[in-house]
Chain A
Amino acid sequence: MNARLQFAARIFLAALFLYAGLPKILAPHDFALVVFRFHLLPDDLINTVALLLPWLEIFAALALLLPAWRRAGMLWLVIMLGIATAALAISLARRLDIDCGCFTLQPGRSHIGWWSLARNTALIALTLWAGWSKPARAP
């Protein structure tokens, strides 16, 4: 039962991160602006991070579906979610009036707030739980 739930959670997470990554790949200029507006990275790193992050998100999500690659995918997702959550917390503390850009790049649809912080924390917990299970072995 637990294994089935974990499997369902992995499918959900993979779909979620594919859904989150694709718009960022399709509109890298918009995503770079989102990254810039957090004012946390040196200027020289903003575009590089904006280009790399969505691909990492997508490949980590796909890895979550492959038994042998599951934990590697999980760890990448947890690292990215952890960094994003820290960035959100810092921005909330600095009272920045910005969009999260987490799942959509459309302006005004993802304003940062305590809700986005709670959602990310829940996603970290779910990713850890779903990705930690041991890969099934052949009898």
Chain B
Amino acid sequence: MKALLPFLFRMSAILLLALVCNVSVNLLRHTPLPLRGEWSKHVEQRALQAGLKLVGIGTMQHAVASGAARVLDARPPADFRAGHLPGAQSLPFDAASELLTSMQIELPREQPIITCCARNDCDEGLELALFLRRTGYTNVTLFAGGLAEWRASGGTVEVER
């Protein structure tokens, strides 16, 4: 008991120091991280709630290297031309219905598809994935990190000229 009290004091002191530093350093940041984030509105949370499977950067790297899945970029065409994942195809979310029905893009229903957009705060990739699933595509997943996470992982980007 005699030895326990100083031990508990030291445990609490470490926790207190960590608390004080985290609060003060966070307040000094240019963009502090709010203590309560709006994660329920995050695109990945919405995708999971909709029953959509998410793929991470590792799977994405494998898919790009092996061509195991069709990568569909849901951003506007101009953004796509400025830089996209290697081998990705442009299918802007707002024109997807038209492009698929007019057969300008051929996409077998059972083809493994990964949709994406710019980064994890855009939702065109999610909307495109949900649209494809509604229209009968059975193997659709979302790479929520998008081009930003691809770049951050050191992945190369293709630019259309």
* A and B physically associate: yes
> Once the chains bind, are B37 and A43 in contact (CB under 8 Å)?
yes
Contact of A108 among B26, B42, B154 (CB under 8 A): B154
Closest to B32 in A: A28
Chain A's interface: helix, strand, loop or mixed, by majority? helix
Q: CB-nearest residue of chain A relative to B8? A: A72
Secondary structure call for the B interface: helix
- CB neighbours of A54 from chain B (8 A): 22
Chain B residue at minimal CB-CB distance from A51: B22
Which residues of chain B in 4-45 are interfacial with respect to chain A, using CB atoms and an 8 Å cutoff? 7, 10-11, 13-15, 17-19, 21-23, 25-26, 29, 31, 33-40, 42, 44-45
Kindly list chain A residues whose C-beta atoms are within 8 Å of the C-beta of B11: 72, 75-76
Closest to B48 in A: A39
Query: Known contacts being A48-B35, A106-B153, is A68 close to B18, with CB within 8 Å?
Result: no
The size of the chain A interface, using a CB distance under 8 A, is: 39
Residues of B within 8 A of A76 (CB): 11, 14-15
Minimal Cβ-Cβ distance residue in B for A43? B39
Q: Which residue of A lies closest to B141 (CB)?
A: A97
Binding site for A on B (CB under 8 A): 7, 10-11, 13-15, 17-19, 21-23, 25-26, 29, 31, 33-40, 42, 44-45, 48, 54-59, 61, 120, 145, 149-150, 152-155
